[in-house]
Structure 1
Amino acid sequence: MNGEVLEGFLCPICLKDLGTITQLQNHFEEAHKSEDVAVIQHLKGLFEKAKKKFLNEEIVKDNLQTPINLSPKRIVNEKPQEIGRITSHTTFFKNLREKRIDAYALETNKLLLRLDKLIDDKAPMEPSKRKNYEKSVVPWTKDKKLTNPSFEPEGEMLGFRRSNSSGSLNSLFSSEGESHLRTCQRCSHLLERRHDQMETRNSTPMENFLYSRLCQYKMDAERQIPQVLTMAQSLRDGDETYSLQSAESERQKLIMIFDSIDKTSKRIATMIDEQNAGQKTMQLRRAIRQAAATWLQDNMLGLQSLPTREELDEIQRRKNLELEKRIAIEKDAMTKKLEKDNASKKVEIVVRKASLPNTKNMQDENGWKPETQVSDNDDPMLQQINIIKSYIKQAKQQCKWDEVHMLEENLNQLEKAYWDEKTKPFI
């Protein structure tokens, strides 16, 4: 070293200038990966610090610079505290609540009864009679007593007057004949409260209505899916029980039901409630959406597609060819069976005649006749077997191969019957 000062991104081992911190790090990992592991880890730490410095990032201070509190901790083993005095206010709350509910119910019922009398069809409509009728139904209160209506359950708390439009429950019809209701603030609050209670009791929340509709869509789809699958399989098999048009119509109905399920579940999941919905409500809505999506995935993936018109024609053509081929095979088998039965009958007749004593040689319709040589001492079944063997021998000599084939089959049957008869006592 001649005291020259080098600057730049230098490799700490080979002192090569790499230009950038990234190239320096890559060079070090590739060219000096065989160096000592401890040295490499130390240099990597230096690279990371240098990189953060050049990128204007904060360098985390060393934990050694953080002051360590070496003062001993005070450990206190406290005894578990006992439960102190408990005072229950449940009874007081229930009594107070019952009184308030009874007071609201009593005054609301009074209002409803008075309103029912005021809007009765039998009430007089003439102004002079109407005023007296309203006074008999609802006592009119003076203006000075209605400056600030208050709610006092123990006393007479409702007062009505005709002069002030904001405090009168008596006049239900204006001078123009328009139907309306004028009442004080307190009575209006009671009537609105009663109206809200009836709406809540009789109305169904929108999410309940949508969920009921979603369940109905699922039931309709579950009834429709087996029918669509049956029709699709029938068309794939080439049957003519269902038409392609009817199958497409039923499939389209099912797809529309699937679409309704998807839209309804999405609407439930994204429904915005006027009242702030809680976390449990939102989780329930998302769970309904997830269950509907899973149900759609399971049922739509297993839905078999319908063949096109060209595919259906090709399937039916192949099926007709297979049917014709099967009919021809069955017809040929039936013909062979009949021929075999007729040949067997002819052979049986020949065998019976050949087994008779003094049997003469017979000539068939083609001019060929077998000669029989049978011993009277043989068993009758052996005589028939020997006769057929002689027939076979003579037919082979005359090249009557059809007769040879039929006689050999009869010979096999006779031999099988003979051996079954012989072995029967030994079984």
Structure 2
Amino acid sequence: MSGTNPFDSDEEPSASNDEILEGFLCPMCRADLKSIDYLTEHFARQHAEEEDALKSVFKDIFSKAKKKILNNFEDERERVAPASAAASSPAASASNASAARTSNAKSRHNIYSQLTKQSVGAERGHLEYFQSVRNPRLERYASETNKLIIRLHRLLKDLPTDAVQRKQHEQQTVPWLDGSSVKLCPSCAKSFHIARRQHHCRLCGGIMCNDCSRFLQLENAMQLASLSSTRSDPLQQLQHHEDRAIRLCQHCLWLLDTRQDMLESRTCRPLLAKVYDEIRQLQKQVAPDLEMYAKIINSLLDGESIFTLADAGALRGKIGQVAETIDLRSKRILTIHSEPGSREEALKKAIRLSCVQMIKERMLSLPPLPDEALIKQIQERKRMETEQRILTEQRMAMEAYERYGATTQVGVSMENRNFAQGSDLQSLNNWSAPQASTTKSSVDDPLIEQINIIKGYIKQARQDMNFDVVETLELNLRELQREVYERQRQTSNSSKATSPQANS
């Protein structure tokens, strides 16, 4: 509070106006009372009878302030009126308005320029001090938690089911404090009596009442102690809920919960990351199927018989199921809660857009299944072309024999080789070769047995839609078929050669 009247006129300066008093001043005697309580008490005791004089002083101050404000307002109006009367064009009015704004800005600037600007002080980092205080505390908590887990492991390792034996085991594992001198609960400060008994923490041995006790379930205790769940099966047969738990104090339970939360935070992943990993795994699994489907379609259109139209249909159905699963997973990502306008929201939309684009470009744009009649027509045309090629090669071989006097064995071997090439057109599931009259049955032939085994493998691979294995097994099967046919042809030719000699 100031000791001078700020609204005194400039025309009548006084000597007292030069002095400025500050503090909790009495408006009558201008004594500094140091606080508002002392000021109130002083005025009520010393100037109770001078209340009317005080009212007149404040009335005089308010009247002078009102007069000064009105005078400033009238002076401003007198300056603005001639300027507005002289302005006869919009340009002049605009210039006057800008001048008024400039004057106001200058007045505000003059007011702010009178204020002293505070300089930037010295800066000091407290990170080292914070770490020096925080690290010992964390080490102490970690040490206490490790001790509790060791005690918990020893406590649960051979915990008996009988109540008396269990109490003895707990006291032997962790010594209990003597409660004869403890009259109050350390947590709630309530006195112990017959209705409020003393209880002990099973990990630190501290004393508490029943209301301040906390219980840790045996399943969670087993997990913290790194014990198998089979050890807790006999303990699950206990009837009371408290018997299936361990009594702890608040501090010990807080330490164990903190350790559990820390372990879960390290292993737990956000739901968005889990669903995105599932989508990436599905995309990785379906990529070979997409390539195999295109390969099967091209093979069918080329007239090959390694794959069938049913294989292409089954693989196309599998790709459609994977596309539907990816679409559902991407829609599930959009349902995960996130703040509007956040980076997580933009990430979810980007994942959904990429999944939709991948489904459209790679899965829905697959070539359609060809017509079965068209496939048969192409295979028949290729078979005829192959037969024509075989006949041409045989005719050329006979001409070479007649021209150059080739031996009969060369012609026979050429015929066998050509016919072996023609065996590619034999059906794999209904394979049949010319049976030779041999003393050994076809079942005892190891090549025939191997062919039957490979056919079983091919059938199983088709059921599992593992078409890479199907292709490899089909090629192996044809090699075995050629070998069996070559052997039977040689046996048949040798029997024909020996039969004329026997007749002669």
TM-score (norm 2): 0.43
- Which structure has greater helix proportion? 2
TM-score (norm 1): 0.50
Higher relative contact order (CA 8 A, sep 6+): 2
